[in-house]
């Protein structure tokens, strides 16, 4: 972290540094364009010659504008919360110019030290111009005594020949979440969404995927991998609609442990004779032979379980 700029007072600075590292892998200000939001307010920002970040006038949030032809650049827009009772909502819009190719790193980490709920709702909209490419990485993390609530909404509009790959991870500390992802895919465009979720205790998670394949030769692949432990509950709802010659695939794989519960509702709708749509849902416990095989190599049962889950979530 830049010594000239502190996220909070020195007593809590380490906590905020760790939160930032959990969702970005960074222990200092990133290179390139970035916007850091801390406890509901803008903290620090940097733009480049090809990527601009502008504060919205009508609601909390920013516009991220990537110029046409931008290559090999990144944008970091993490959110960190370290207060109890804070309810943050932000609206971020991404405008990706023609032929641009960028990586965007987002996500939210909450440290809730008190008894009141703390929450963050991030509403992100992506508008990709012709042949633009985006790798979007999003991670959610929570810790502390109070409840942590995260509700991300991602709305994606893909222009002709564009490509967006979204990699979303929620492994620890989120008590309740509703993850709403919607996509409209244009001609020759591709949308890939991969999520990994782990819940424990009495945590709940709900995933909503809705994708319209509107353009000729549009494609989507939706992947959800989850581990459900304790008494936690997860729901997976996926809807792919083929409105043109298109290809769509949705899959939900879940490992069920303890007294956890999973509901998977995959749905496909073909409104065109050349729409090829597939959905899959697999839910089950860790196979006994997998545990036995690893335990014969000297691992305890808990170590074997951890090894299997780690491999499953990669």
| Beta pairing, strands 190-199 & 218-228 | parallel
Whole-number pLDDT of residue 6: 52
Per-residue confidence at 12, pLDDT binned at 50, 70, 90? Answer: low
Nearest to 42 by CA among 64, 68, 16, 60: 60
Whole-number pLDDT of residue 243: 98
Residue owning tokens 């032809």:
69
Which neighbouring-strand residues pair with 196?
169, 225
Q: Which two tokens stand for residue 273?
A: 């004779």
Residue with the larger pLDDT of the pair 148 and 28: 148
Contacts of 4 (CB under 8 A, 6+ apart): none
| 99 conformational bin, left if phi > 0, alpha if psi -120 to 50, beta if neither | left
Query: What mean pLDDT do residues 210-218 have?
Result: 98
Q: Tens digits of per-residue pLDDT, 159-182?
A: 999 999 999 999 889 999 999 999
Q: Tens digits of per-residue pLDDT, 74-120?
A: 999 999 999 999 999 999 999 999 999 999 999 999 999 999 999 99
Whole-number pLDDT of residue 25: 82
Whole-number pLDDT of residue 27: 64
**Model pTM score:** 0.92
Query: What mean pLDDT do residues 232-251 have?
Result: 97
Per-residue confidence at 10, pLDDT binned at 50, 70, 90? Answer: very low
Query: What mean pLDDT do residues 230-253 have?
Result: 97
Q: What percent of the chain has pLDDT over 90?
A: 76
Residue with the larger pLDDT of the pair 19 and 210: 210
Residue 309 has pLDDT above 50, yes or no: yes
Query: What mean pLDDT do residues 204-221 have?
Result: 98
Do 112 and 12 contact (CB within 8 A), yes or no?
no
Residue 30 has pLDDT above 80, yes or no: no
Whole-number pLDDT of residue 9: 45
Nearest to 196 by CA among 228, 169, 175: 169
Whole-number pLDDT of residue 7: 55
Whole-number pLDDT of residue 28: 66
Question: Which sign, positive or negative, has the C-alpha torsion 191, 130, 23, 306?
Answer: positive
Whole-number pLDDT of residue 161: 98
Question: Which sign, positive or negative, has the C-alpha torsion 135, 196, 146, 178?
Answer: positive
């Amino acid at each position: 972290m830049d010594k000239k700029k502190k996220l909070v007072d020195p007593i809590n600075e380490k906590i905020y540094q760790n939160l930032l590292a959990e969702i970005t892998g960074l222990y200092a200000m990133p290179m390139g364009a970035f916007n850091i939001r801390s406890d509901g307010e803008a903290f620090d920002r940097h733009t480049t010659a090809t990527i601009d970040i502008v504060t919205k006038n009508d609601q909390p949030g920013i516009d991220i504008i990537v110029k046409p032809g931008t290559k090999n650049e990144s944008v970091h827009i993490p959110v960190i919360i370290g207060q109890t009772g804070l309810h943050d909502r932000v609206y971020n819009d991404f405008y990706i110019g023609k032929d641009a190719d960028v990586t965007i790193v987002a996500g939210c980490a909450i440290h809730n030290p008190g008894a009141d709920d703390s929450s963050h709702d991030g509403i992100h909209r992506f508008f990709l111009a012709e042949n633009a490419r985006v790798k979007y990485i999003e991670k959610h993390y929570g810790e502390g005594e109070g409840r942590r609530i995260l509700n991300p909404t991602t709305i994606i509009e893909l222009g002709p020949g564009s490509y967006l790959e979204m990699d979303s991870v929620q492994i620890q500390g989120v008590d309740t979440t509703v993850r709403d992802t919607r996509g409209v895919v244009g001609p020759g465009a591709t949308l890939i969404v991969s999520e990994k979720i782990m819940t424990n205790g009495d945590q709940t998670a709900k995933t909503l995927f809705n994708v319209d394949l509107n353009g000729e030769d549009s494609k989507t692949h939706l992947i959800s991998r989850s581990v459900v432990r304790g008494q936690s509950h997860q729901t997976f709802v996926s809807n792919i609609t083929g409105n043109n010659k298109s290809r769509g695939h949705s899959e939900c794989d879940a490992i069920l442990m303890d007294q956890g519960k999973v509901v998977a509702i995959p749905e496909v709708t073909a409104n065109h004779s050349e729409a090829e749509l597939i959905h899959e849902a697999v839910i089950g416990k860790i196979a006994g032979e997998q545990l036995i095989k690893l335990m014969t190599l000297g691992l305890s049962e808990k170590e074997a379980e951890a090894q299997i889950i780690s491999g499953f979530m990669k």
